[in-house]
Structure 1
Amino acid sequence: MHLVSANLLVLLMRRTGDGRPVSVRELADAVGCHPSKIDHLRNGRRQSATQAEAEAIARRLGVDLMCLWEHTGRTVEAANELAPIAAVPA
């Protein structure tokens, strides 16, 4: 997963979904990673996390996953819709 914005992460850590701030160490404990990983995400030195880490960060901050993260890797195109039917002259 790719972090949309380090600044957004910082703002969301200041005021989580429950209205209270969360520290780097508290967030790292909730995610199950080293605090330096959270610090690197906050400072923009790192922009990626695993799916599980991204979900845990979003859950602890009280936001939807896609507000803070975007998927990386191979994308799958949507199925083609049926071609429109051409009008037949009368």
Structure 2
Amino acid sequence: MLRNAQIFKWIMEHPGRGRPYSIRTLALASGCSRGLVEKLANGTQPTADVDDAHSLVEALGVALLVLFAPPSSPELDGTSSVRTPTAKE
């Protein structure tokens, strides 16, 4: 989950390396779609898949956790492969 769209836009303008990015140039540099970068920047899409998130932060020159927060609980977001025991177990 993207921590904050404003921080994302600020980092696009002040990347850890190189010159500022536009939506188009960040999409090209990261290999992500222009639509994804635009939606993250304007706050209409708060998530990106893991590969896209890694590609974006690599292009921007920041650590993953600067821009993206991990899910609060694997059980809550449905990604856990571990079953919660029932009362009978």
Common fold by TM > 0.5: yes
Q: Which amino acid aligns with 2:42?
A: N
Q: 1:81 corresponds to which residue?
A: none
Output aligned runs, 1:1-90, within 5 Å.
Answer: 2-72=1-71, 74=74
Deviation at 1:39, TM superposition (A): 0.6
Which deviations, in whole Å up to 9, do the C-alpha atoms of 1:28-58 show, x marking residues without a partner?
1223222111111001000000111111111
RMSD, aligned α-carbons: 1.7
Aligned sequence identity (%): 32
> Which sits farther off after the overlay, 55-64 or 16-25?
16-25
Equivalent pairs, count:
75
Residue segments in structure 2 that go unaligned for 5+ positions in a row: 81-89
Q: Which has the greater radius of gyration?
A: 1
Cα distance in 2 for partners of 1:15, 1:8 equals 10
Tell me, what secondary structure is at the counterpart of 2:45? coil
TM-score (norm 2): 0.76
